[in-house]
Amino acid sequence: MGNTSGRAGGGEHRHAVRRVTVIGTGLIGTSIALALRARDVDVTLSDPDPSSLRLACDLGAGRPLDESADPSAAPADVAVVAAPPAVVPAVLRRAQDRGLAHVYTDVASVKASVLAEAERLGCDMATFVPGHPMGGREKQGPGAARADLFLGRSWALCPTGKADPETVAAVAEVARLCGADPLVLDAGVHDRAVALVSHAPHVAASAVAARLVSGDAAALTLAGQGVRDVTRVAGGDPAMWTEILTHNAAPVADVLYAVAADLAATADALRGAAEEAGTGGSDANTAVAGGAAPVPGTEGAGRPPVGAEVLAPVRDLLERGRAGHGRIPGKHGTVRLPEYTVIPVVIPDEPGTLGRLFASAAAAGVNIEDVRIEHTPGLPLGVAQLHVLPEAVDAFVRALAADGWSVHPGA
């Protein structure tokens, strides 16, 4: 990105942010509000969907904005518009007209189109600093919100040049209060960057996941962590993602053509290898249902190995893939998240099991910080992966074992 980007002033222009209004209490708005509440910021909330607003308030994300009062009498320091990209400019314009805050930002996943429309609608660009926190989930709504969603993540800020440094500093402070690292960059540069690191990967994940729709049930039973990792984001909301992709269409298309070319070259090479090895078949489900097929490039089938030059494009993609993966900065940047120890517990797949397990934890005085359940369809057992603080592990394992649980520390 050369000199078109930079970390937002690290203290030079620190701005005290004490009152924030969040407009749109879905996943991102509520996560921001929860993070700000944890730093004692006074947060007011607004959403056209009363059930989202109520749930956000019940989660402790803030109190409802009094829509009947005149907000310009006591404007918030910052208003955060956390609505879908297409409505952000109109919501911003209305918030500015009402005088809700001194400074405004948004969180939309695309920036150039939002900026252009905000200008077209006559929004005040001197008080608007477009933003995009690079943390999220494949779930929607306030129920999925987490105060730690942005810890150690970059938070893009794309000021137009009309906003003064104090205004940019106020929004950078919101990002910092959420535990993120603000990064100032041009909107077009931002959109090309997220096409590469977020939007095209989302489409690629969906393309892989879409193959599973017609996948044989027997094949899906073999799903392990690999396919879960590769397709996690494909669980996102299709309506929201269609909007995001449409707003960043050209940069995403560029990346997808390159991905498609790599996939096509790899498929051609593998088809060539299969033909050379005389194994020909092309249906993944047939391969699973019909037993083991000879692996091209090995001597196992009693045929000569497939030539290295036939497989060169495959190897080349795998090498470049590993190199690209290695360039992704550490998941949480320089921020250290609490380290939890994972305690696997084998649990029967029957009603009430988790309740009893949590009751055992509570009786032992141990807080379960997070829980994941691994469960193979059709099996009567699953594994609950309980995340606890390291200092609680010994007492916890003893207590669970004493209660008769099949507990497997270190497994």
Ligand X SMILES: O=C(O)C(=O)C[C@]1(C(=O)O)C=C[C@@H](O)C=C1
Ligand Y SMILES: NC(=O)c1ccc[n+]([C@@H]2O[C@H](COP(=O)([O-])OP(=O)(O)OC[C@H]3O[C@@H](n4cnc5c(N)ncnc54)[C@H](O)[C@@H]3O)[C@@H](O)[C@H]2O)c1
- Which residues would be at the binding site for ligand X (CB under 6 A)? 109, 134, 136-138, 198, 233
Min dist CB 108 to ligand Y, Å, is: 4
- Segment 71 to 100, residues that bind ligand Y, using CB under 6 A: 82-85, 87, 91
Interface stretch with ligand Y, choices 4-12, 106-114, 295-303, 392-400 (CB under 6 A): 106-114
Q: Is the Cα torsion angle 10, 12, 17, 23 positive or negative in sign? A: negative
Decide if residue 201 touches ligand Y (CB under 6 A).
no
Decide if residue 244 touches ligand Y (CB under 6 A).
yes
Complex with ligand Y: residue 102 or 137, whichever CB lies closer: 137
Decide if residue 24 touches ligand Y (CB under 6 A).
yes
Min dist CB 15 to ligand X, Å, is: 24
Q: Is the Cα torsion angle 261, 267, 273, 276 positive or negative in sign? A: negative
Decide if residue 27 touches ligand Y (CB under 6 A).
yes
CA dihedral 113, 26, 146, 54 (to 10 degrees): 150
Residue among 132, 94, 95, 93 nearest 110 (CA): 132
Residue pointed to by tokens 């019909």: 290
Cα–Cα distance for residue pair 316/313, rounded to 1 Å: 5
CB 318 within 8 A of CB 270: no
Spell out, one character per residue from 286 to 315, where the chain touches ligand Y: x when CB under 6 A holds, - when not.
------------------------------
**Residue 133 phi, psi dihedral angles, 5° rounding:** -75, 130
Residue pointed to by tokens 């005085």: 365
SS3 347: strand
Cα–Cα distance for residue pair 175/10, rounded to 1 Å: 12
Residue among 181, 171, 180 nearest 128 (CA): 171
* Residue 198 binds which of ligand X, ligand Y, none (CB < 5-8 A, kind-dependent): ligand X
CB 20 within 8 A of CB 77: yes
Min dist CB 358 to ligand X, Å, is: 26
Spell out, one character per residue from 130 to 159, where the chain touches ligand Y: x when CB under 6 A holds, - when not.
---x--xx--xx------------------
Complex with ligand Y: residue 48 or 307, whichever CB lies closer: 48
Q: Which two tokens stand for residue 45?
A: 């909330």
- Segment 39 to 58, residues that bind ligand Y, using CB under 6 A: 47-49, 52
Min dist CB 180 to ligand X, Å, is: 11
**Site residues for ligand Y per CB under 6 A:** 23-29, 47-49, 52, 82-85, 87, 91, 107-109, 133, 136-137, 140-141, 240, 244
